[in-house]
Each structure stands twice: as C-alpha cells, then as structure tokens.
Amino acid sequence: MVERVFDMNLITFNLVVNILSFVKLTEAQCYKNGTCVCHCADCSSGCQSCSPGWSGSTENFCQKANTLYQFYSMNSENINVLDGNSNTYEESKDSSPFIRVHLKESKVISRLDITIQLVAGNEYSVYVKDNKYATEDDLKCNTFTYNGVGTIQTIPFVCKQPLEGKYIQIVTSLTSTLRVYEIEQFECTNGSFGYNCSDICPNSCSGQCNKVTGRCACNTGFWGTHCNKTCPMRCKAKLCDSASGDCVDCVPGNYGLGCNGQCSPGCQDICNTTSGSCQCKQGFHSADCSQQCIENCNNRFCLQESGFCASCIPGKYGNFCNANCLGDCDGNCVQTTGLCGNCAKGKYGFYCNETCHKNCEGNICDRATGKCSDCVKKAYGLYCNETCPRNCDGDICDRVTGRCKQCKIGYMGDTCLENCPDHCKECSQDGYKCNRCEDGWYGVKCETRCQESCGGNTTCDIDSGWCHVCSVGYFGNFCEQKCSDNCDASYMCDKITGNCRSCKAGKRGPFCAESCSEHCRNLSCSMNESCINGCEDGWFGPQCKYKCNYALRSCAKCKFIDDDDEPVCIQCSDAWFLNGSKCSECPRNCSLCLSDSKCHECKNNHFYGKTCNLPCNAACRNKTCDITGQCTLECENSKYGTKCDQDCPVGCRSCRNALLCLSCEDGFNKNCERCDNNVTCRKAL
C-alpha cells in the first residue's frame, strides 16, 4: 500500500472543488456565442493546462469533467484512485486481492475508465453496489481479461446496464498484486459534446444537445433540428421525438406515431399506443376490440382472438353458438357436440327426446333407460306403470314388487286384500297378531272376551285381558273384587288397590271402615279423620276430640291458630265474656256480657242494671224485666207503667193507665164503681 498523509486544509479544499464541479455540470458551461466557462489551471493568459479533475480540449477551456475526482467518503480507504493523479496508486497483495473505494454518496455508473497495472492471464471484474461486501453477478459492471505483456493501461469498463451504488470494487481472478492508479468517470459540461468535449452545441438548439452526438435536446413540446416544431397535441405530456416528431406516448384513447388513431370503444382500458391493440370489454373481440361478440354468446362473452363464444345461451351450441342443441336439454348442451349435458325434466334418451312415464316421482327418470328414480303414490314398477293394491295404507307400495308397505286398518297380506281375523280391528300385515281388538275382546287374534265385570264389558288389555275400567263398585285386574259398602257411590274405589276415593258421611280410612269423630260438624271428615267442616261448638282439634272447656275454662267455642299452640277461645259460655283469648266471669247476675262492667242480659230476667245488680219490680208478673228494668210481661197488684211502679185507680184490679181499667176488684161494677150493699159485681167486659 502507498502511505498517505491527510491534510485537513486539503480535504476542505477538495470538498469545495467537488461542490463547484457539480454545479458546473448541472449548469450551461458553453454558450451560443462560442464561449465556454474556463476550467483551466490558469485562465488569465489562455489555457495551457486543465485544473485537477478536468481534461479535454484546452481550446475549449477543458470541458471534460471527471465526476469521480475526489468523490470519496471521509472514511474511505484507497482514496488515491480518486485523486486525479496518475502517479499515485493503491495496491493489494492479499490471496484474493481487491481494491474498494467508498463514494461520498450513491452514484449511477454507466462507464468507468480505470488506469491499472495489467498482469498477463488475469481477469479483472468491476462491481458497483450499495452493500460493502456484496459480489452478486447482477452488481457486476463488466469484466476484462488481459493476455498480453504486463503494462500500465487505462481500460474502459462499459457496464452491461447502468448500476447505482456507493461502493466501486475491483477484483482479480489470480493471486497476484493488484495495483490501481486511477478510477475515472467522464462527462461533458452542458453545452459541449464529443469524445474530448471539444465541440459546442449548435446555435440552433433551443435546449441542451446530446453530450456524445451533439444532437439538440428540445424543450418539452418541441421537435426538429432547430426545435421549432410543435409536438402533436395528442402526445402525452407533449413529449415527442426531437428528430421525427413521433409521440413518445399518447394521451389515453389514442395510438399511432402521431397518436391520430383512436382506441376502439370496445377496449377495457387504454390501448397500445403503437398498434391500438387492447384488452377487450365484455362483448367485444379482435386485437383492437372493434368487433362485437354475437348475441348467442352467453352474456355476450367471447374469446378476444377468435371471437368464439366462451359459452352459449341455453339451447345453442357451436363456436359461434349458431346451432340449436340436439334435444330437450336442462340448461346448456355441450358446446362442441350439441348433446345435452342433462335432460330437461321429464325427458330421457341420448338426445333427450324421449318422455318419462307420468308416474315417475318428480317427473325424473334415468337418462339412458327411462327407468323412474321413484314413483308417485299408487304406482310401482321400473317405469311406475303398475298400480298399487287398493288397500295399501297411504296408497304406498314397494316400487319394485308392488308389496304394500303397510295395510289399511282391517286388512292383511302382501297385497292387503285379506281381512283381519274376527273381532280384530287392526292386525299385522302377515296376519299373525292383532294390534287392536274390537271392544270387549283380547288375545293374539282377539279371540277371547273381556271379563263381564270390566266397565261396561268394553275394553281390556289386548295381551293380559286386564280390564282398563271396572264397572261401578268393583276393582282388581279383572274387576273381580267389590268395593267397600262405605265408599261414596259417586266416586267408588281405586281400580288397583280398592281404596275408596271418598267415604259416605261419618266414615273414614282407606276402605271407609272407620267412623269419623262424633264431634265433627255434620259428621263429615276426610280419609285421614280430619274434620272437613270443623268441630261442633265446644270441641277442637283435627279430629274434634278435645273439649274447649277442658283446655279453656268456661269456653263454649274455640279453635287452633297454629297446630303447635294451645287453642284460642272465640266464644265463651253463658255468664262469661271473652277477655283476649280466654274467658272471664260476668258480674254475678249476668247471663251475657262483654266485660265485667256491662251486662247485656241478666239471669232469668229477674235483674236489671249495668251489672244486673237490681231486682225487677215485684209488681212485674213473674218478677221479670229487661236490662233497663222495664217489665217484660203484665203488671200485677193493681200496678201499671213500664216498670209497674204506678197504682191503678181504686177499684181496678188491672189497668192500662190511670184512666182505663182492664179488670175491677170484687165489689166494683163494670166501671169499677163500688156495688151497693157490698154485692159482687160482674166483671167488666
């Protein structure tokens, strides 16, 4: 390797030169008046030599630029190959020698001029890449094989295709020393052209010229030697060939050199700008889609090249679907032969021109033989042309043999033409067993009568003969046992156990053999002895066995609030009153009271007052009065008034008031006037 010493001032200068060089390449350097921008080492007294990085004709002020001059990255190795000095070099002596330079940015490379020490028999390959270590073939610019005598030469490497990358790497095929002096890429400045960039673009160019041929590059929308002709209006983006005026591309819908041709309306999208060919819309064909598919094509869809229908409408066949199908088809027929893929319903045969038998289920039969897949009701046979026997249940029989699948009620046999045995309402098809007997019969063939004790002698179990229902008053499997006489006749007893469903009044228990409690009201109790209508007054408990006044003193009527509690009195005996849930004694002479301070009735009606502590007036007949003291009967002892406390007039034995006597004393006449001589008078009427 050649030893290198970096000078920061030199590096800074080189960066400035590179930037200025880039500006000079992108701007015009030579003008129509024949002058060019100077890139010479000294521009003050004519051009004797070119500045570093520049070459070409000194007469044209060095217009050939080396675009790789000092175009290396700050951290690149092997920078001597980009210093513009052919006296310095980079060298590699490894077993697989290579020299790689890192550009300061990615660059498009089409050609490289490489000054190199050539070794006979060696192959030199140049790579342009973005990955430092990649060596794939598609990154290889080109290869040069040298078979001469060892020498230093500048070799042009023209890339097979433009490559873009930030690394340039040179590799040899032999284990030898690889020495590279310079890697260069040349380009003329804008306004100059030719091998040595010694020519200036013609004055007639309105834009720049080609840097190799000098041919003018026209501005957009113009063409011709002097770029004074306008591109056809149908050129896309107004771009046309600067020499011929042919459009580079056409606006959508046009084609041809001048884009004068219009794409067919049948094109799916835009057409080819050269030929006018396109992908067709549905319903069109030919290269330019100018031909319509015939109407017999299904959905008007045909092949673009031939116009053949992709498929036909129902009933047609052939390439153009112009022939009728050869038969009565279900939908389409085969497009190439015209034969039906499937026959229409009700048809069969090679050409589907035969008719299935009318009794084929669904009007469907075998395509080849015409045999029915299945038969409608009442029909059987391969072609369903036979009628099922009349007694087949549901009019259904085996479609091959005609045997009934099941007989109507009352018939048996394969064809159901035989009657079931006597008393058999429904039997097995082979007649071996009856499934249902007439009322009053049972057995395998309904040959035995049910027991007479079966309810109404109607029905019994077909296998055992056990009665389904018993006559009133009987129970048991054969209704041979009599219900208890104490069962309520309206409900009788259970058919299996004989238990009474309900008892006659006063009876209880499963067979109603026991009596209800004598204190049940109306002697009515349930099967478990509970009194249904409650207890007689003065008794309590579920079976009314307990007397109220045993548990509650002087209680005439009581009841349970809760079965676990003691009874509660709801009515007391005479001369007692309800005090909460118990009875308290009324005042002494009370026969009925609601408290100990107020009587409602007095004993024997001989007393009165709030507490019955006052005797009735002795003049009250039988000494009886109500609680207010008013006599309840007539007055005696010549008294009158509500309480018999007033005296009748003299001579009256009884009176209604002070003026009206009802009877007179002895010795008084009818007017209760004293009789003469003390004679007894006749009683007043």
Same domain for 592 and 575: no
User: What is the percentage of the chain residues whose pLDDT exceeds 90?
Assistant: 29
Say whether both 29 and 177 belong to one domain. yes
685 and 540 in a common domain: no
pLDDT at 669: 74
Residue 431 has pLDDT above 80, yes or no: no
What is the mean predicted confidence (pLDDT) over 127-140? 90
For tokens 């009176």, the residue is: 655
The domain boundary, picked from 188, 217, 243, lies at 188
User: What tokens does 625 get?
Assistant: 């009065």
Paired tokens of 362: 């669904």
Residue 202 makes CB contacts below 8 A (sequence gap 6+) with 209, 214, 216
- pLDDT greater at residue 674 or residue 230: 230
Q: Exposed, middle or buried by CB within 10 Å (0-12, 13-18, 19+), for 628?
A: exposed
Pairs from 260-267 (Cβ < 8 Å, separation ≥ 24): 260/232, 260/234, 263/288, 264/288, 264/289, 264/290, 266/290, 266/291, 266/292
- The residue that leads in pLDDT, 557 or 477, is 477
- The answer to whether the Cα torsion of 585, 586, 592, 594 is positive or negative is negative
Residue-number span of the structural domain to which 183 is assigned: 8-188
pLDDT at 207: 56
Q: Which residue has the higher pLDDT, 155 or 458?
A: 155
Confidence check: pLDDT of 360 > 50: yes
* Number of domains, the chain: 4
Domain boundary among 162, 188, 214: 188
Determine what percent of the chain falls in helix, strand and coil, rounding each to the nearest 5.
10, 35, 60
39 and 145 both lie in a single domain: yes
Predicted confidence (pLDDT) at residue 464 exceeds the cutoff of 80: yes
Convert the pLDDT of each residue in 522-532 to its tens digit. Answer: 777 877 778 87
CA distances from 327 to 309, 314, 367 (A): 21, 12, 12
> Running DSSP on this structure, what letter comes out for residue 521?
G
Instruction: Report yes or no: 670 and 678 within 8 Å, Cβ to Cβ.
Output: no
Instruction: Give the DSSP H/E element, type plus range, for residue 124.
Output: strand 122-129
219-233, 392-406, 423-437: the lowest-pLDDT one: 219-233
d(C-alpha 116, C-alpha 139), whole Å = 21
Q: How does DSSP assign 529-565, residue by residue? A: S-BSS-BPTTEESTTS-EEHHHHSTTEEEEE-SSTTS
Is the confidence at residue 589, as pLDDT, over 70?
Answer: yes
List C-alpha distances in Å: 288 to 192, 252, 267, 309, 626: 46, 14, 7, 18, 136
**Beta-carbon count within 10 A of 400 CB:** 10
The single-letter code of the amino acid at 440 is: G
Short-list 610, 599, 602, 647, CA closest to 626: 602
In a domain, 619, yes or no: yes
Q: Please tell me the predicted confidence (pLDDT) of residue 592.
A: 84
* Dihedral, 329, 335, 341, 344 alpha carbons, nearest 10: -10
Instruction: Tell me the mean pLDDT in the region 476-495.
Output: 84
**Separation CA 126–CA 163 (nearest Å):** 11
In a domain, residue 328? The reply is no
For residues 432 and 446, the answer to whether their CB atoms sit within 8 Å is no
Which three-class secondary structure string do you get for 351-401? Answer: CCCEECCCCEHHHCECCCCCCECCECCCEECCCCCEECCCCEHHHCECCCC
Residues 591 and 621 reside in one and the same domain: yes
Q: What is the distance, to the nearest Å, from the Cα of residue 526 to the centroid of all Cα atoms in its chain?
A: 60
Tokens of 675: 């009789």
**Per-residue pLDDT band at 137 (split at 50, 70, 90):** confident
| Separation between Cα atoms, residue 475 and residue 33, nearest integer Å | 143
Distance CA(324)–CA(318), nearest Å, equals: 9
> Cα separation of 615 and 627, whole Å?
10
Residues 536, 674, single domain; the answer is no
- Predicted confidence at residue 539, as pLDDT, reads 81
13 and 30 assigned to the same domain: yes
Judgement on whether residues 629 and 532 belong to the same structural domain of the protein: no
475, β-bridge pairs: 481
> Taking a C-beta distance cutoff of 8 angstroms, is the pair 483, 473 a contact?
yes
**453-462 pLDDT tens trace:** 787 657 889 8
Say yes or no: 531 and 678 in one domain: no
| Phi, psi (rounded to 5 degrees) for 171 | -125, 140
pLDDT in tens, 601-654: 888 888 988 888 899 998 898 889 998 889 988 888 788 888 898 888 888 888
Does a structural domain hold residue 622? yes
What pLDDT is stored for residue 564 in this prediction? 54
Nearest one of 580, 530, 534, 533 to 555, comparing CA atoms: 580
Both tokens of 65, joined, read 């630029």
For the segment 655-661, the average pLDDT, to the nearest whole number, is 80
Alpha-carbon distance of 517 to 466, in angstroms, equals 39
- For the record, the structure tokens of 528 come out as 């478990």
Residue 138 is classified by DSSP as G
Confidence of residue 248 (pLDDT cuts 50, 70, 90): confident
Residue 572 belongs to a domain: yes
Based on the number of CB atoms within 10 Å of its own CB, is 398 exposed (0-12), middle (13-18) or buried (19 or more)? middle
- Between residues 193 and 27, which one has the greater pLDDT? 193
- 467 by Cβ neighbours in 10 Å (0-12 / 13-18 / 19+) ranks as buried
596 occurs within a structural domain: yes
* Residues 129/102, Cβ–Cβ less than 8 Å: no
Residue with the larger pLDDT of the pair 424 and 208? 424
What is the pLDDT at residue 650? 84
Can you spell out the DSSP letters for 271-334? Answer: PPTTT---PBPTTEESTTS-EEPPTTBGGG-B-TTT--BSSBPTTEESTTS-EE-SS-BSS-B-
Is pLDDT above 70 for 214? yes
Sign of the alpha-carbon torsion through 505, 508, 513, 515 = negative
Handedness of CA 619, 620, 622, 626 (dihedral sign): negative
Domain membership flag for residue 226: no
User: What is the rounded CA–CA span in Å between residue 394 and residue 231?
Assistant: 90
The CATH number linked to 118 is: 2.60.120.260
Q: Which residue has the higher pLDDT, 289 or 656?
A: 289
Q: DSSP string of 424-467? A: EEEE-TTSSSEEEEPTTEESTTS-EEPPTTBGGG--B-TTT--B
pLDDT at 676: 63
Q: What is the pLDDT of residue 23?
A: 42
Residue 4 has pLDDT above 50, yes or no: no
Nearest to 21 by CA among 48, 53, 61: 53
Q: Give me the pLDDT at residue 597, please.
A: 79
pLDDT, tens only, 69-116: 999 988 888 899 999 998 999 999 888 899 999 999 999 999 999 999
* pLDDT score of 211: 81
449 or 10, higher pLDDT: 449
Measured in degrees and rounded to the nearest 5, phi and psi for residue 611 equal -115, 15
* CA atoms of 388 and 56, how far apart (whole Å): 114
Residue 68 lies inside a defined structural domain of this protein: yes
Q: What is the C-alpha separation between 116 and 156, in angstroms, rounded? A: 11
The pLDDT of residue 129 is 93
Cα-to-chain-centroid distance, residue 30: 77
Sign, CA torsion 293/294/296/299: positive
My answer on whether 599 and 578 are in the same domain is no
Last residue of a domain, which of 157, 188, 219?
Answer: 188
* 334, two tokens: 């085969």
Both 144 and 58 in one domain: the answer is yes
**172 and 23 within one domain:** yes
Which two structure tokens, joined as six digits, stand for 461?
A: 């179990």
- With H, G, I as helix, E, B as strand and everything else as coil, classify residue 422: coil
Phi and psi torsions of 236, nearest 5° = -65, 130
Does 237 map to a domain? no
Please tell me the pTM assigned to this model: 0.35
In a 3-state reduction of DSSP, which class is residue 14?
helix
